[in-house]
Amino acid sequence: MLIYLDMCCLKRPFDDQSQPRIRLESEAGAFMSHTVLDPLELRHRGFDARVDSLGWVNAVRFVQQYEMSRLDYTTERDAILPAWDRKEFARGLERAPCETTPRPQGQRDG
């Protein structure tokens, strides 16, 4: 049997317990809470399920669609990359050796 539980069932213990229905719902939620995973375990298992279903790269892409990053990319970028202007960057590309890496058999662009 499947039971749909939304966030209200988790917040029920904080409601007015003097009402019999709310008290019973709170007790039912407490009874079921032993099967509820802690947030870290839930995150790990959820991500593992995504990886199993989508593969590593697509699982990461899926998470990135919904998760806001707390990292400051621009600060990291400025610390790592040299302070080149466009002309200097283009000169660096011209000086760089052209490397080609063989593509695994069966892999296509896109």
What's the pLDDT tens digit per position in 41-97? 888 888 899 999 999 888 888 888 876 667 677 777 777 777 888 888 888 878 877
In this structure, are residues 13 and 30 in contact, taking their beta carbons and an 8 Å threshold?
A: yes
Given the structure tokens 């099967």, which residue do they identify?
35
What CA–CA distance (Å, rounded) separates 17 from 39?
26
The predicted model scores a pTM of 0.34
Which pLDDT value is given to residue 107? 54
Token code pair at residue 4:
């749909």
